Copies of this chain bind each other. A is one copy, B any other.
Amino acid sequence: TEVARYLGVPRLYLAANSGARIGLADEVKKLLKVCWTDNDPAKGINYIYLSKEDGETLSAKGSVQGHLIGDNKTGEERFKLTDVIGLTHGLGVENLQGSGAIAGITSKANRDIVTISYVGARSVGIGAYLVRLGQRTIQHVGHPILLTGFSALNSVLGQELYTSNMQLGGPDIMYRNGVSHLTAISDIDAVNRTLEWLSFVPECRNGRLPMLPTVSSSSPLTGDADRPDRTVAVKPKSGEDVRDCLCGKEVKDAGFLPGFLDRGSFFETLSGWANGIVVGRGRLGGIPIGLIAVETRTTSRIVPADPADLDSKKLNLARAGQVWYPDSAFKTAQAINDFRTEDLPLVVLANWRGFSGGTRDMYDEVLKFGSYIVDALRDYEQPVIVYIPPGAELRGGAWVVVDPSINKEYMEMYADPDSRGGVLEPEGIVEIKYREKDLKATMHRLDTTLMEYDAKLNELVSSEASAAEVSALQKSIKQRESELLPYYRQMAVAFADLHDTPGRMKAKKVIRRVVQWADSRAFFHKRLRRRLAELDAVKKLRAASPSTTQAEASSALKNLFCADRKAEKEKEKEKRSSRAKSLKALGLVPRMRSASGSDRTDDEEKIVAETEEEWQDDDLVLKWLARSDVNERLAALGEKMVAEEVRGRCQSHLHTVLQVCTEEVRRSGGDDDAVKAAVKELYDALFASSK
């Protein structure tokens, strides 16, 4: 584990154990004697002892502790035992200490690297904890993960209530509650699934993502590769399996319609648990990503009965689609955390109406698990794309916990034109903000019949007509109003809905761009390539200078790009203007706008705005980042940042640094003359500068 953590490579744990070892000291067992009360076993034990000789021999060897006493009756000297240590190491608490050590180290490993456990035989007690501390678990369908064996539980409970270990920790329990991410029907199956899992993960933490080669539309399709720039043919539909949109599906007559991901690349985990949320890994044009999608169908949660609690029964709870429950919020956060240590970019196909806020779910700590989502995204260090697909919606609290402002450096949000987002659903807004009074006002403004009635009423009132006439008209108005009310409420809902459009999201800058579902694959593939390349460059800068923040390094990179673009533009402008001059010299061009000072400032600003705009252009940035001189200049920038940092430290420790320099020069020079020369150079430089 230490090696894995040092290298940052994944750690695989093949779990098979029956808990901590137990034992008794056999060398004492075969010599022990008992002092019964009144020498009568029926009266119970007084104490346990060894003969004086045995006691002295064994205590000298460190096997026992105790003291000599004289027997009341016989006066015989006996070695009364107070502690049995045992000659064999590994009988009791020392095993727990060892277990604590591996528990601590597994916990650290899970924080730092990819940890996967395969439960290929039963895993008991601390073994079960090691499995969970490593989080990612593949469980053989025939083997349990448990704390206490069923027979030990029965003996504690004093009844034969449990009949097998599988009842306590088989896949029916552990796969359904998300302890096991996957199940395997055989060892070879487990190996295959592990390898498939690892195929998405970099060789070591913060290493390069294992990208598969992609083919562009212009080059022929070879092998299994799936063009990144093709359209997504399966559209999300409420009531259909969301996996179809991800993986594609076979349609009668039409053949295979491809989905969002590369064909056959989706690798789902945790599917036994909280299945209102679908999580897994997949490839997008060869890029490994973590993926979270939402089930629109009603799912069910099955809670097993506990044989030890006679009141308990198996429950089958219906779960509405598009809603976060305590377990599905937990699953979402768990998946994000898993993806994080796997260094995967994350795509969230967001479609949530909100969190379930009923009494039971509030009691079941939905707030805690919902908060986990924010905490998990806060720590993410790869690009996160939150995308609201067509027909999907994202409301209130559900929006808040995935909003990019949680982690600005890494998160971005997008929406399909047919998606919706807002605080409440339009029906809810209308109830509060477009009440009956407002609706009636709108009717009177728009409905021709009501307008006629109103005119007539005015007439009647001003002509001092009879009360009966007025009241009859008022009744007609009332009737027309109540006739129209449902239709106008519908209208109000439609109006409120216009406030929840991607157009408004873009205008309010809460999403970066509106992206059509059909084009989403091509768009996000390019976007991810750009973001990964950009973050890679930023990572290099930060590696050179650890005290630089992510935001500082990002902006340094952007400035380098903008400066480059600006220089290029100015060169071009110069070329144009010199060409114009030469043309002018030939008398061929109309007079040019005079290059006055203010014009120049305008130009400057225009260029800055343009380069800002160009920084948003993924193609351009990707091309720029691929240039070999950019890499060199990034390295130079890194060196400069190091220098800044060292300078910072020098400022606070000038004396130390001078000393260190002296030693340093002395050490690196070896030869005294070289040392003198180096210092002379420094000396001269100073004198020269002061002239």
Contact = CB atoms under 8 A, between A and B. Distances in A.
Given A179-B365, A643-B659, A354 B24 contact: no
A94 B179 contact: no
A248 interface: no
B646 A660 contact: yes
Interface string A168-181: 11000110111100
A550 interface: no
Contact of A422 (B92, B174, B510, B672): B92
A42 interface: yes
Interface string A1-41: 00000000000000000011111110011101110100001
Contacts of A126: 396-397, 400
A548 interface: no
Contacts of A361: 306
A107 B406 contact: yes
A587 to B, nearest CB: 45
B660 A405 contact: no
Contact of A125 (B99, B396, B404): B396
**In this complex, which of A22, A355, A502 has the most chain B Cβ atoms within 10 angstroms of its Cβ?**
A22
Interface in A669-691: 672, 675-676, 678-680, 682-683, 685-687, 689-690
A167 to B, nearest CB: 6
A499 B649 CA distance: 56
A363 B405 contact: no
B423 A378 contact: no
A549 interface: no
A387 to B, nearest CB: 15
A265 interface: no
Contact of A365 (B167, B178, B445, B649): B178
Report the copy number of this chain in the oligomer.
2
A263 to B, nearest CB: 35
Contact of A682 (B45, B366, B421, B662): B662
Interface stretch (A221-229, A429-437, A563-571): A429-437
A406 B103 contact: yes
A455 to B, nearest CB: 19
A304 B364 CA distance: 10
Contacts of A179: 365, 367-368
B643 A364 contact: no
**Count class of interface residues, chain A:** 35 or more
Contact of A45 (B359, B370, B490, B666): B490
Contacts of A168: 357-359, 362
Contacts of A687: 676
A367 B663 CA distance: 55
Contacts of A505: 93
Given A403-B103, A662-B686, A93 B675 contact: no
Nearest to A645: B649
A374 B111 CA distance: 12
Contacts of A488: 41
Interface string A111-150: 1000000000000011011011100000000000111100
Given A24-B499, A92-B499, A397-B125, A97 B405 contact: yes
A363 B491 contact: no
A653 interface: yes
Interface string A645-667: 01101110110111111111110
A368 B132 contact: yes
Nearest to A691: B672
A654 B689 CA distance: 21
Nearest to A33: B446
Interface in A245-271: none
A460 interface: no
Contact of A133 (B315, B371, B651, B682): B371
Given A405-B100, A657-B661, A491 B45 contact: yes
Contacts of A661: 650, 657-658, 661, 682
B129 A397 contact: yes
A508 interface: yes
A327 to B, nearest CB: 9
A494 to B, nearest CB: 5
A442 B30 CA distance: 7
A296 interface: no
A75 to B, nearest CB: 19
Interface stretch (A76-84, A230-238, A462-470): A76-84
A500 B407 CA distance: 51
A360 interface: yes
A28 B423 CA distance: 19
A62 B423 contact: no
A432 B91 CA distance: 13
B364 A177 contact: yes
A477 interface: no
Tell me which of A44, A92, A356, A662 has the highest count of chain B C-beta atoms within 10 A of its own C-beta: A92
B399 A304 contact: no
18 contacts: A22-B433, A24-B433, A24-B434, A36-B487, A81-B498, A82-B498, A83-B503, A85-B507, A89-B508, A93-B500, A99-B400, A104-B378, A129-B400, A147-B397, A176-B363, A303-B363, A650-B660, A657-B660
Given A41-B487, A108-B378, 5 more contacts: A45-B490, A93-B399, A162-B359, A173-B363, A308-B359
